[in-house]
Amino acid sequence: MAGLYVHIPFCRHKCAYCDFYSGPLRGFRAEEYVEALIAEHSVRRLADRYETIYIGGGTPSTIHPALLRPLLSLGPGERTVEVNPEDVTPQMATQWLQAGANRISMGVQSLIDSELEAVGRRHTAAGAIRAFRTLREAGFDNISLDLIYGLPGQTPQTWRRSVEDILELEPEHLSAYSLSYEPGTLLHTRLLTGKITETAEDDIVEMYEFLCTATHRAGFNHYEISNFAQPGRHSRHNSSYWDSTPYLGLGPGAHSFDGERRSFNPANLGEYMKNPAGAFQIEEETPTERHNDIVMTQLRTSRGLDPELLTPQERTKARRLLQPTPEGRLRISEADWLRSDPIMIELIR
Ligand code: SF4
Q: Is 22 in the pocket of ligand 1 (CB under 6 A)?
A: yes
Residues 225 and 295 in one domain: no
What's the pLDDT at 2? 94
pLDDT tens for 7-22 read 999 999 999 999 988 8
What's the pLDDT at 28? 83
Total domains, the chain:
2
Residues 118 and 231 in one domain: yes
Residue 268, in any domain of the structure: no
Q: Is 59 in the pocket of ligand 1 (CB under 6 A)?
A: yes
Residues 214 and 67 in one domain: yes
Residues 142 and 39 in one domain: yes
Domain that holds residue 183: 3-240
Residue (of 103, 87, 107) closest to 53 by Cα position = 103
Give the distance between the most distant pair of CA atoms in the chain: 59
Q: From atom 5 of ligand 1, which residue's Cα is the shortest distance away?
A: 14
Distance CA 120, CA 225 (A): 26
Residue 254, in any domain of the structure: no
Residue 177, in any domain of the structure: yes
- DSSP, collapsed to helix, strand or coil, labels residue 275 as coil
The answer to whether 127 touches 107, Cβ cutoff 8 Å, is no
Distance of CA 144 to the CA centre of its chain: 10
Residues 85 and 232 in one domain: yes
**Strand spans (E) along 195-280:** 221-224, 227-229, 247-250, 255-257, 262-264
Q: Tell me the pLDDT band of 118, cut-offs 50, 70 and 90.
A: very high
Residue 137, in any domain of the structure: yes
Residue 198, in any domain of the structure: yes
What's the pLDDT at 61? 96
CB atoms within 10 A of CB 280: 22
Contacts with 278 (C-beta within 8 Å, 6 or more apart), sequence order: 43
Q: Is 302 in the pocket of ligand 1 (CB under 6 A)?
A: no
Residues linked to residue 257 through DSSP beta bridges, in sequence order: 247, 262
Residue 251, in any domain of the structure: no
- What CATH number is attached to the domain comprising 144? 3.20.20.70
Ligand 1 mean position, distance from CA 117 (Å): 14
Residues 195 and 328 in one domain: no
Residue 310, in any domain of the structure: yes
Question: What is the model's pTM?
Answer: 0.95
Which of 240, 267, 295 is a domain's end point?
240
